[in-house]
Structures are given as C-alpha cells and as structure tokens.
Structure 1
C-alpha cells in the first residue's frame, strides 16, 4: 500500500490529451494483438448463429467464448454471444455478455444455470433512445414467467438508490430451484458515461457483497456486452488488485484494457469510457486509502485520557471549608449584623400603638442547612433612626411613610439591617423613631402637596368667625 499514494498522484496528473493518446494506442494495439494471438470469431459468424448476435460486428472470440453444454428440449446449440473474462487472480472471474434477444433468452438462462451464476449486473435499460437494447428476461414483480424449460419468479424489487434496481429472482429447472440477484444500473447512457463515479462504485460494492465467496463468475452485460460491460470489468479488476495487494509500480490502465480486449472484442468502446476508468480509479484509490487509515486507527490501543486532578494545599482546603460554613449560615438574609446574634425569640414586641407581641413565622427549612429544621432562622429588618410624628388627631401614625417630608432634616440618613432580636429589644424605646418638628411651618410643610403627596390642610371657613384652635397649636 506504500505505492498507492504515488499511483494516485500519477493518475491525477493524467490530462485529457494523454487519455486521448492512450486510447488511440488501445485501438491500434487491439488489432495487433488479434493478429499476433490469432484470435478468431468463426463460431459466431456461422450461418446458424449469425442471427443470435445483436450486433454483427461484435462477435466473441472463439478462444474465450462461453460454450453451452447444458442440453434442453428447446435448444441444443452451444453458442451464445458471451465471453469469459479473467480476474486479478487469473481465474474466470466474469462473463461479459450481450443483452439477450427474444430468440436467445432461453440460451441466456441455460448459461446462468450451467455456470451457477449468483449475481447479474445489468448496465443498461431495456429501451434506450427509442430502441430496444435488451430483452426482458425476468418476470414482473411478484410474478412468474416461463422461458423454455426455466421458470423465473420475481420475488421482489427494491431501489437502493435512484440509480439501481435490485431484483431477487428465483429460477427453477427440473425440480431444482436457485436464487439469483440482479442489479440493474439505470444511469448509464449507451456510448456515454455516468455523470458521477460514485453510482458505479456503489453498484460494484453491492454486487461483490452479494457474490460473497461464491466461486461462480459474475455475469455482466449491457446491450452489446463490450463498452459499458468492459468498464465494469476493468473497475472491478482494479479493485481486486487493491484487495489482493497485487498492484505494482507499473500499474497501467492501458495494460488492463488491452488484457480485456484480448478476451472480449471492443471492450471499453469509446474514449470517454476510457477516461471514466481513470476518474473512477482515482475515487476508488481515495476510498481505499481512507478505509486503510480508519482501520489503522481502529487497531491502535485506546489512549486513556489523564484524569483532571486539582492540587489542594492546606490553606486552600481550610479556605474552602470556611466558605462552606459561611454558605451554610447564609439563607435569605440580605445583610447580617456585624455582632454575633443570640437565638431569635419566638415572639417580639411590635412598634404598633396597639401594643402586644407578634409571633415570628415558624422555622423555615433550607436545602443547604446542615442542621435542618433545628437551626433558628435569621431575619432582617429596616431600622429608621428617628421617631415618627405623633399627631394629636390620631394616636397612631396616619401613613406608613416611606420617605421623610423634611429632606434637609434627613439628608444623609441611612437604613440599617438589624436582627429581629435587636429590633425587639429596641421596640420600647421611642428614641428609635424619627421625631419631626412641631412648628406650624413644619406642619405646613408636612401637609403640603410637595411633602408626602397629599393635601392635609383644613380649609379656612368663609365668614367672620374665630379660627379653630387646631390652626394655632399642635397637641403633643
């Protein structure tokens, strides 16, 4: 496999001009080989066989033709337009055959049965460009057809992709039944090439999988059994060279095609088909290299990834423990008192004028509390600095004042978070609340629209009477 990258580079370096020159060599050398090797086509040219040839200029060589030996009641002739093709190992790997005529379908099945063919690759359609290229030698899906003494049953059809039709065929002869798989490639025009190589390579992969280790030859045919059939044989031959590791430094597609033409006339029939072999071989080599790399990686022992371990120092361990304890003490508290707090009482006095006590909510459970429900909850509250205004009209404050009306008096005022116990202890001390001035001006400011947002002034009645006492004094 060390040669494969260099061979791949060599194939990629071949341009269209070189391909044309090589194909001209193929054509001229084919005539020389036919003359030097003494290849003849006398059997196919016999009067009784001439009508069995689809094309009069494509006749099998007598030296490599398939000789029918299976006698049937309908036909005793030994001729069929088909040739044996050797594989990379030197055995008869393929049978290159023309598409059967209506008069040769029976001979076609005679050959299949005689050679025990398991896989058929059909590289054409039945009708192309308005002309019949191949007789339908199978039955319709789920149907049965008789061709002489052979009963052919189509067990089912499928479409692995848009290019291929897969048929599972059962053929019976003299109370014996065999199975045959047929792959029909639909995207290969006559005297032309497919628009991409992946379809043909996929076709060959499927055919090889169906063939398995069966020793019988694979039957490949198109219409004449030379152009498209020769390309398929050449590509599978190259694949066998790769698999069996017989590919050498002198690898040459020209030599392979010439070997095919020694066994089947006009194999690889056009320059475009010859060029297609180069393109498909490049794709095949790239696939093979990629598969080899993946296999190499899969055979390597898996490298264990080192575990991530953190280096813990005594100081870091102590710091982490301290952070854990602090986290356990922090529940829903916005801010805690700087001094340590004793356990919270179950009831605290409220600053309401009605007096009495207010019972705190029951202990709350926290997920991060190691002591569970037994831990006393810590609460926080907002503590104002001065006493609220006590008005003579009411014993209790009129409003829950959020912001003091006298901005100057409260400039720089802050709110502090204190514990519930501290708040309970200071609840009886009036000095904990803000005390407003009792002057008339302060009261006017308090009740002005710009103060707390409401007009609290009692309107002066009209008429000559004494003003009420509430206007001139405030009761403390």
Structure 2
C-alpha cells in the first residue's frame, strides 16, 4: 500500500489529463467493439423518461423493471447495473427521477429490495431542477402511485450529509431503507476535499453491511458524481479484500465502470479527484493498521502540491466552496428556493477548450419528441430558472450570457466593441468658402 500511495502522490497533473483523454477515446472504442447499444432509451415512448437526451443506459446493463403496478407501466428506467469489486456486490447507477418517473424509481427500489440510497445532488442547483423529491418530509407520509413513503426521522451528522430513515409500503407490506444525501458536491465539479465523500461511504457501508441487495446511487444524470462514488467504493473493496498487485490501475477501473454506465466519471477534474481521494483513503487505512506500517509515511512525500494528499488535508476542513446552492445548507428537506444567484464565470481561456469536457452517449436512433409541457427537449437551456426537466450538458460560449466576446475589451463587458467603421459627420464634408 505504501508503494501505491507513493505512486499516487507523485502523479503529474498533465499526465493525468492525458490519461483521462485516453479513457474517453478507449470508451468510444469499447462501445463499438462490444456492440453496446442504447436502443431502449431512444424509443419514442421512453425518450421522455430521460432527464438528459444524451445520457441513455446501455441495453446490455440497463435495469429492466418487471414489477408492474398499472397498465401504463413499461420496463424502462434510466438506470444501470454496475458490478462491484467483490462477489455479490452491485450498484444501481441511476439518473435522478423526473416528476413523471418517481413511481418508476420506487418500482425499481421495491423490485430489487434496495436498503441504501446515496443521493449526490440537491433538488435544485444553480436555479435548475436536478432531482424530483421522491421522499416524504420529516414525520410525514407521501404517496407515489401505489407506494406510500413515510419519514421516520432525519439527522444531520455533519454539514455535508443528511440521513433520512424511510419506510415504503406497497400492498400492505412495509420495508425500511436509509437515504444519504450529500450536500457539498457541485454539479460538473468536485468536492473541495476528499474527507466528506470518504466519510459518507463509511456510513453507507455501515448501513449496507452484508446485504446482497444493490446500493442505489444517483446524482442528476447518474454518471459524473455517481461514477466517482462507485469508483471509490469499488477501490475501497479492492484495498481491504485483495492484495494490491502491480497491475492495479484506476484507469482500468473507470473503463470497467464505463462499460456498464455511459460516461461514468464525467470530467477530468472528477478523474483527478479519484486519485487524490484514493491517496487519502490509503492514508486512513495505513493509520488504522498501526504505527509500524504507518511509520514509513514520512518517506512518501512529493514536490507536486497539486496531487499530494496528506493526513491533514484528508481530515481537516479546507476553504469553503465558492458555489452557491439554492437549498438551505442545514438540509435539503426545506422547500427549494429558486435563486437568481449565478456562479462566477470562469476565465474565458478555460471555456474555449479544444475538446469537449463531457462525453456524449448518443443513442443509436435519434428521435425528437414532441414538446408537451414538462417533457421538452431544447437545443440549449437558458440560465434563468425553468421547470423543464431536460437540460443540455454543455453550451457554447456564444450561448452563455454575461461573457465578454473573444477579443473584447475585457475590463468592462458592457462596453461593446464597435462593429465597423462609421460614416464621418456631415460637417466634415462641407467646403469652407
């Protein structure tokens, strides 16, 4: 483990960026070579059930709903099975439910006897709806189709996590489950420290224990933040159950996740976060193993400050994030507040990337559903609050308001650059006599 920690701490950020580029290119080759398809999600009757039109589950690994509660039910939900590192360990990587798919989510939970849910997003982020509320408010009961969900209690062990004890009843049978909502993970970004996510996973494992039912993990799309959580828990199981050999590769693990869930681990920053989190995880495991193993830690230092993760940075709070959340930090149980506060614009040089950051899992059969209120697929979504469930993952610079145009003045975006020469004043053309 010490050697693995040393190799993780000494990684060059530029090398990681190149490696993530290789992950993306190999993902496309893997999709082609294995014949991975997304035909079910692209069907006309299912397209409106997808939160994002470019993130569809592979037919080979999608969750098929067999529990039918009405004549209108189908077997489709935007969720994928992901195999864990040990025998019998499985995850369900799912998109956050829409208002029209909340019942489908509970059908899936009941069918697979899910006992633990990890929610890695908030209901509303940056003024955009990211997840429909599928649980009951504190000490209340809410009905979703034939399912009645009751809240038995809610705790806030720290500022990052809300823990909800829920009971779901279906046909006079009741089951208990626990939902962990992580509040400090900005969309399309990474947490400002690894400790919060690792603490979350410790709580999840304590709740799951030896159960063989899958752990349900979702963010908004079910690929970026969800993929990171799956990867970290997968690696934890490898570290504690199997000897680490020279062929250990985080890249291979991420590719294995992507074989099962499109675009798992969605950005290069999220990919880098896995490395720093695993280094932090190994530090914790070495500390818990006793002073004899951990005494070599002082020799495992590196000059690269961007990738070095020390016990201090693992266990202490760093600077708070600059992202603004719409929900009350004390817990997402409060009603969503649609704020007009927008995130600070990134430097233009960061936005004019030569290659797109996000992978697109495009369906094999492109269909354009009709616009019918809630289920509206737009070419680009405005930054103002909206009730649309669909949202584009990326937008061009020209589509984003508030940015200075390339070559503009820069210090004051409100002053526009003249578009061309102007005609001289008429007085200049008069001949003096």
| TM-score strictly above 0.5 | yes
- Structure 1, gaps ≥5 residues long: 298-476
Aligned to 2:283: 286
User: How big is each residue's C-alpha offset from its partner over 1:285-335, in whole Å with a ceiling of 9 and x where there is no partner?
Assistant: 1111111126999xxxxxxxxxxxxxxxxxxxxxxxxxxxxxxxxxxxxxx
Is 1:158 matched up with 2:158? no
Aligned to 1:211: 208
User: How big is each residue's C-alpha offset from its partner over 1:118-140, in whole Å with a ceiling of 9 and x where there is no partner?
Assistant: 00000000000100000000011
Structure 1 counterpart SS, 2:270? helix
Contact conserved, 1:123 with 1:188, CA < 8 A, in 2? Answer: yes
User: Partners in 2 of 1:144 and 1:238 — Cα distance?
Assistant: 37
Structure 1 counterpart SS, 2:152? strand
User: Partners in 2 of 1:114 and 1:279 — Cα distance?
Assistant: 36
Structure 1 counterpart SS, 2:167? strand
Is 1:124 matched up with 2:105? no
Contact conserved, 1:171 with 1:179, CA < 8 A, in 2? Answer: yes
- Give 1:276 deviation, angstroms: 0.3
Aligned to 1:170: 167
Contact conserved, 1:119 with 1:207, CA < 8 A, in 2? Answer: yes
TM-score (norm 1): 0.61
User: Partners in 2 of 1:247 and 1:58 — Cα distance?
Assistant: 33
User: Partners in 1 of 2:143 and 2:122 — Cα distance?
Assistant: 21
Structure 1 counterpart SS, 2:217? strand
Higher relative contact order (CA 8 A, sep 6+): 2
Structure 1 counterpart SS, 2:9? helix
TM-score (norm 2): 0.67
Structure 1 counterpart SS, 2:138? coil
- Give 1:243 deviation, angstroms: 1.6
Contact conserved, 1:167 with 1:182, CA < 8 A, in 2? Answer: yes
Contact conserved, 1:84 with 1:92, CA < 8 A, in 2? Answer: no
- Give 1:248 deviation, angstroms: 2.0
Contact conserved, 1:99 with 1:221, CA < 8 A, in 2? Answer: yes
Contact conserved, 2:89 with 2:212, CA < 8 A, in 1? Answer: no
User: Partners in 2 of 1:129 and 1:213 — Cα distance?
Assistant: 38
User: Partners in 2 of 1:186 and 1:227 — Cα distance?
Assistant: 15
Q: How does 1:267-286 map to 2 (within 5 A)?
A: 267-286=264-283
The correspondence for 1:72, drawn from 65, 69, 72, is 69
The correspondence for 1:182, drawn from 168, 179, 193, is 179
User: Partners in 2 of 1:168 and 1:63 — Cα distance?
Assistant: 33
Aligned to 1:194: 191
User: Partners in 2 of 1:289 and 1:168 — Cα distance?
Assistant: 33
The correspondence for 1:98, drawn from 80, 83, 95, is 95
Is 1:33 matched up with 2:69? no
Aligned to 2:39: 42
User: How big is each residue's C-alpha offset from its partner over 1:184-216, in whole Å with a ceiling of 9 and x where there is no partner?
Assistant: 000000000000000000000000000011110
Aligned to 1:335: none
RMSD of aligned residue pairs (Cα, Å): 1.4
Aligned to 2:225: 228
User: Partners in 2 of 1:205 and 1:75 — Cα distance?
Assistant: 39
User: How big is each residue's C-alpha offset from its partner over 1:219-255, in whole Å with a ceiling of 9 and x where there is no partner?
Assistant: 0000000000000000000000012124322111111
The change in CA–CA distance for 1:17 and 1:201 in structure 2 (over 3 A counts) is: same
- Give 1:76 deviation, angstroms: 2.2
Structure 1 counterpart SS, 2:290? helix
User: How big is each residue's C-alpha offset from its partner over 1:25-65, in whole Å with a ceiling of 9 and x where there is no partner?
Assistant: 00100000000000000000000000000000000000000
- Structure 2, gaps ≥5 residues long: 295-433
